[in-house]
């Protein structure tokens, strides 16, 4: 199972772009990369998922280099409400061992 490493915390200001990188050096060929967001007092929720190159949705973009040993979650123009913990997970459809790492605590300041 691919282990992930993320920065423990990050600070940003409203309106800035935030990039959170996750390392997963031993990612397997079938593994996908999924990012979750957790607000205080709530369960984590799905943000974005990808296999390679770039994926974009209404919330974020996910950049995955060719070697897939890392990925970067990009949040455009963050607001105070983006303050949360962000987790990256690596796994495939037949892997039910969904273990979360420590996550990155993002604090957005006014």
Task: Please say whether the beta carbons of 90 and 2 come within 8 A.
Answer: yes
Cβ proximity to another protein, 16 vs 83, nearer residue: 83
CB of 28: closest distance to another protein in angstroms?
11
Burial of 22 (0-12, 13-18, 19+ CB in 10 A): buried
Q: How far is Cα 35 from Cα 90, in angstroms, rounded to an integer?
A: 9
Residue closer to another protein (CB basis): 99 or 109: 99
Per CB under 8 A, contacts with another protein among 35-54 are 36, 38, 41-46, 49, 51
* Cβ atoms of residues 47 and 82 within 8 Å: no
Which residues in 57-96 contact another protein (CB under 8 A)? 85, 87, 89, 91-96
Bridge partner residues of 10 (DSSP): 106
Question: Where do contacts with another protein occur on this chain (CB under 8 A)?
Answer: 30-32, 34, 36, 38, 41-46, 49, 51, 85, 87, 89, 91-100, 102-103
């Amino acid at each position: 199972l691919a282990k992930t490493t993320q920065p423990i915390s990050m600070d940003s200001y409203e309106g800035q772009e935030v990039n959170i990188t996750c390392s997963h050096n031993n990612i397997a060929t079938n593994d996908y990369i999924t990012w979750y967001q957790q607000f205080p007092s709530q369960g984590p929720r799905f943000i974005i998922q990808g296999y390679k190159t770039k994926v974009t949705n209404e919330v974020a973009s996910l950049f995955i280099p060719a070697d897939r040993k890392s990925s970067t979650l990009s949040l455009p123009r963050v607001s105070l409400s983006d303050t949360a913990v962000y987790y990256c997970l690596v796994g495939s459809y037949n892997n039910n061992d969904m273990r979360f790492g420590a996550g990155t605590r993002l604090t957005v300041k006014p």
